[in-house]
Amino acid sequence: MFFGLLRMVKFYYIALAMMACCAIQVNGDPSDDVEAAWENFQAHNPLKKDASPQEIAKRKTNFAKAHSMIERHNKNKNATFQMEHNKFSTMDDDEKKQYNGARPPPHHESSKFLNVDDIAVSTRQLPASLDYRTDVCLTSVKNQGSCGSCWAFTAIAPLEFAQCKKTSTPIVLSEQQLVDCDTNNGGCNGGWYTSAWYHLKNGCARQSLYPYTATKNTCKYTSAMSAATVSSYGSVTSNSPASMQLVLQKYGPLAVAITVVNSFYAYKSGVYTDPACDNLPVNHGVVVVGWGTLNGIDFWIVRNSWGSSWGSSGYILMQRGVNKCGIENYPAVIVSVA
């Protein structure tokens, strides 16, 4: 009986040990989780071989902050969008800001406001969804790099689309021309898309003749390079989603400005609804290329200029009808090309 009791006690302690071990494996050590994520990230995004210990430590600290934000957000069952690690995970805030660059002019120049009453379509005729992503006239997503030239990319995509619709031939145009030559804007230090369209009334070069370098250089544009010319453009009524839809359907992609905050950099999928970006000054230019509804949430389909590896193949779905991140404040569109 004594030995039987001893065996029972021994079994009890073994069971407790196994339960403790399982608990450690299930709950895990947060530091182990970060280490594993860091090692995996490094396997696909290695730092420069000559990176100093101080540089590595700084990048790892930035990554840990991003990892905490992403993990906490993705575990929220009520989240309408998901986040992931990408090239921004190891960047400082100042480095991230270099990928923005929307700078509204002090006195918003008087581009004509489009009168939606003149557009022969009613809101009752608007489809439930519209998506130009698969349209042959919308070029592949581009990458501005660490140059605050989003305004140039926001200006060029609608021009490419409009020119293609006129000629029935896809065309890829030059953002670098704007960065180098548009003196009303600031190159890699930011600018505004309607100011860029004003400059492009004198013609826009093909990208093949004026390739992108992500730095501001001496202007090399000549009229012989021109492949498209802006004839007229207009602003769309602010804070009027229906007006945006009407114009988007009639003329094509809309240039808009938004406010980018930390969660935006890590966007992966779903409808972006973060309230942290609301009621703040805009800082980034993007292009609206459609609309739809997902899980009861209306959204805009938004084309970014951070390459196809960011977000959903270079795109993000942003909540529609609530002026999310200021997206409905400054919509504008190219009306015609020469």
Decide: helix, strand or coil at residue 70.
Answer: helix
**Region of 168 on the Ramachandran plot (φ > 0 left; ψ -120 to 50 alpha; else beta):** left
Residue 141, in any domain of the structure:
yes
Q: Which residues pair with 272 in a beta bridge?
A: 318
Residue 60, in any domain of the structure:
no
Residue 24, in any domain of the structure:
no
**Structure tokens given for 52:** 């100093």
Q: How far apart are CA 48 and CA 66, in angstroms?
A: 20
CA atoms within 13 A on the CB side of 97: 8
Q: How far apart are CA 320 and CA 180, in angstroms?
A: 34
Residue 15, in any domain of the structure:
no
Residue 87, in any domain of the structure:
no
Which amino acid, one-letter code, is at 287? Answer: V
Residue 212, in any domain of the structure:
yes
Q: Do the Cβ atoms of 273 and 80 come closer than 8 Å?
A: yes
Give the H or E element holding residue 20: helix 2-27
Query: Counting every residue, how long is the chain?
Result: 338
In the chain, the number of structural domains is: 1
CA atoms within 13 A on the CB side of 285: 32
Residue 311, in any domain of the structure:
yes
**Structure tokens given for 205:** 């070069």
Sequence-distant (≥ 6) Cβ neighbours of residue 308 within 8 angstroms = 140, 141, 314
Task: Chunk the chain into consecutive blocks of 10 residues (it has 338) and report each block's average pLDDT, rounded to whole numbers.
Answer: 45 43 44 86 90 94 97 97 97 96 75 60 78 98 98 98 98 98 97 97 98 98 97 94 96 98 98 98 98 98 98 98 98 96
Q: What's residue 5's pLDDT? A: 44
Q: Looking at residue 156, which CATH number applies to its domain?
A: 3.90.70.10
Q: How far apart are CA 32 and CA 65, in angstroms?
A: 15
Q: Do the Cβ atoms of 157 and 138 come closer than 8 Å?
A: yes
Q: What's residue 117's pLDDT? A: 53
Q: How far apart are CA 278 and CA 325, in angstroms?
A: 5
Structural domain harbouring 258: 96-337
**Structure tokens given for 109:** 């120049």
Q: How far apart are CA 96 and CA 58, in angstroms?
A: 15
Q: What's residue 125's pLDDT? A: 81
Q: How far apart are CA 228 and CA 111, in angstroms?
A: 20
Task: Quickly count: other Cβ atoms within 10 Å of residue 129's Cβ.
Answer: 13
Catalytic residues: 150, 284, 304
Q: What's residue 108's pLDDT? A: 53
User: What's the pTM?
Assistant: 0.88
**Structure tokens given for 164:** 């293609």
Q: What's residue 32's pLDDT? A: 66
Q: Do the Cβ atoms of 325 and 258 come closer than 8 Å?
A: yes
Sequence-distant (≥ 6) Cβ neighbours of residue 305 within 8 angstroms = 141, 142, 143, 144, 149, 150, 153, 154, 285, 286
Q: What's residue 105's pLDDT? A: 80
Q: How far apart are CA 303 and CA 290, in angstroms?
A: 9
Pairing of strands 130-131, 204-205: unpaired
Q: What's residue 10's pLDDT? A: 45
Q: Return the beta strands (E) in the chain as ranges.
A: 81-83, 112-113, 130-131, 204-205, 226-228, 230-235, 254-258, 267-272, 284-294, 297-303, 315-319, 332-337
Sequence-distant (≥ 6) Cβ neighbours of residue 170 within 8 angstroms = 136, 137, 139, 160, 164
Q: How far apart are CA 315 and CA 129, in angstroms?
A: 16
Residue 65, in any domain of the structure:
no
